[in-house]
Structure 1
Amino acid sequence: MKTLVVGASGATGKLLVDQLLAAGQHIKIVVRPTSILPDHWNNNKHLVIIHKHITEITIEEMAEMLSDCGSVASCLGHNLTWKGIFGKPRKLVADTVTLLCKAITKNAPQTPIRFVLMNTAGNRNKDMNEPVSMGQSVVIGLLRLLLPPHPDNEKSADYLRKEIGQHNDHIEWVAVRPDTLINEEEVSEYALHQSPTRSAIFNPGKTSRINVAHAIARLILEDKLWNTWKGQMPVIYNENGQVG
């Protein structure tokens, strides 16, 4: 079975595709027609590239794309530009999560599809009643009001928690929450935690993008790891998680 990756042209998405290709996985990716992709993806027999704006894909079209897939990963995010942060679509990630889930449900697969969402440590897992300081609550409230990508991240995870839940016949999910993202060349030691072990605002850790990609690939490919974390929102830190 194949894996569908959305957000594959992004900094983490590219690394995820490479991780899956290295593991011998067959992959489909949906990327913008103008996306610049690595040269080594060209003519790769394990990779199908679909050039289309994700916002223009119907549920029926997405259901067809997913018809031979056993897993889905979303590494979508907003570009760190004025247009990317404040322009449309403001609910890019949440709308795409909804689209994917509705398409999966339409297909009604006999074996649940594994759905991995890249999220953020700044988003609480409300199923866990995670404690947050008053100061962090104030800052997060301001981010929610002033920076559209933050509520988009919240809504995307909330859709999985509330609408899909823990006992869906067709979808199982994990929302991976990295802290401050950094670039590293190689996979290093990292750990998954049920909840944040530090404040994402006042005492952030760091997570290399390649470690996030490696963790998502393992979740897709390894049954034991999947069964440990399905229906949860693990936070991922580099083993040496200090910033600076």
Structure 2
Amino acid sequence: MDAKNKAKPVTALVVGASGNTGRLLVKELLNRGVHVKMIIRSLEKMQEDVKNHPHLSIIHANILELCETEMAHHVHGCNAVASCLGHNMTLKGIFGHPRMLVTDATRKLCDAIKENNPEHRVKFVLMNTAGNSNRDIPERVSFAQRCITSVIRLLLPPHLDNERAADYLRTEIRQDHNTIEWAVVRPDSLKDEDQTTAYNVYDSPTRSAIFNPGVTTRINVAHFMADLIVNAEQWHNWKGKMPVIYNKVSP
């Protein structure tokens, strides 16, 4: 392939990049040759093993404090945007502000993509939770789980935040947007491991997130999200959907 026809490198913006899953996604993307921009509030949380990587651009900012012009500038030139934002599991993280961190950031990022009016559609990959149902399809949820989810929705703001972020993509961006395509990745109970292992991906949960939860390692979530960003076949299979990911259980 001559230089003129050589494919341009993928550039991805990652938010929530200092979190337990976000930092793994940054590393996975860099290992795949992706140019990564990362928005990070605290430089103290920066990963030592990647901070000097030639394909990494570090943006020191609070995403919710960036103005529209700044956000559009950071998103400009990106083929993909990935959000691994979430709430810290502390009293302040669960009940403090911002209550709608994931939703507000998702909306702000999508507005920035639209403001740039890119020539080609930008992929938006959102990390969410298997406890959130995809209301675009008839997922099987027991009456007991629906009841408990209703209580969780009232008592734990992060769950409602995850629901609203996914609903924004489903109902406002939808399937036919001219500048944005999306996928919502739903892991179940998250745990840490050092190595990627085999995992399964489904259209809907195969287990109850409340009564019979599965396990998903963060490194597998990062691997799958990176696959969605760089692998055209994976993206074709899952765009506009809310895939659920579980670690593959050995027989």
The residue that corresponds to 2:231 in the other structure is 222
The one-letter code of the counterpart of 1:169 is N
> Structure 1 residue 203 and structure 2 residue 212: aligned?
yes
Deviation larger for 197-206 or 28-37: 28-37
The one-letter code of the counterpart of 1:19 is E
Select 1:80's aligned residue among 78, 81, 89: 89
The residue that corresponds to 1:184 in the other structure is 193
The residue that corresponds to 1:123 in the other structure is 132
Contact 1:207 1:241 in 2 (8 A): no
> Structure 1 residue 41 and structure 2 residue 50: aligned?
yes
Rounded to whole Å, the distance in 2 between the matches of 1:22 and 1:156 is 29
Count how many residue pairs are aligned between Structure 1 and Structure 2.
242
The residue that corresponds to 1:160 in the other structure is 169
Percent identity of the aligned residues? 53
Q: How far off is 1:34 after superposition?
A: 5.1
Rounded to whole Å, the distance in 2 between the matches of 1:220 and 1:14 is 16
The residue that corresponds to 1:100 in the other structure is 109
Contact 1:166 1:172 in 2 (8 A): yes
Rounded to whole Å, the distance in 2 between the matches of 1:54 and 1:88 is 14
Residue 152 of structure 2: SS of its match in structure 1?
Answer: helix
Rounded to whole Å, the distance in 1 between the matches of 2:74 and 2:108 is 12
Residue 109 of structure 2: SS of its match in structure 1?
Answer: helix
Residue 49 of structure 2: SS of its match in structure 1?
Answer: helix
Could you say if the C-alpha distance between residues 158 and 241 of structure 1 is closer, same or farther in structure 2, counting changes exceeding 3 Å? farther
The one-letter code of the counterpart of 1:70 is N
Segments of 4+ moved more than 3 angstroms: none
Select 1:233's aligned residue among 234, 242, 247: 242
Rounded to whole Å, the distance in 2 between the matches of 1:114 and 1:186 is 26
Rounded to whole Å, the distance in 2 between the matches of 1:135 and 1:176 is 24
Contact 1:206 1:241 in 2 (8 A): no
Q: How far off is 1:36 after superposition?
A: 1.1
Rounded to whole Å, the distance in 2 between the matches of 1:190 and 1:42 is 29
Rounded to whole Å, the distance in 2 between the matches of 1:202 and 1:235 is 16
Q: How far off is 1:134 after superposition?
A: 0.9
Contact 1:71 1:220 in 2 (8 A): yes
Q: How far off is 1:241 after superposition?
A: 8.5
The one-letter code of the counterpart of 1:36 is K
TM-score (norm 2): 0.94
The residue that corresponds to 1:25 in the other structure is 34
Q: Deviations over 1:183-233 (max 9, x none)?
A: 111000001100000100000000000000000000000001100100000
Stretches of structure 2 that go unaligned for 5 or more consecutive residues are 1-9
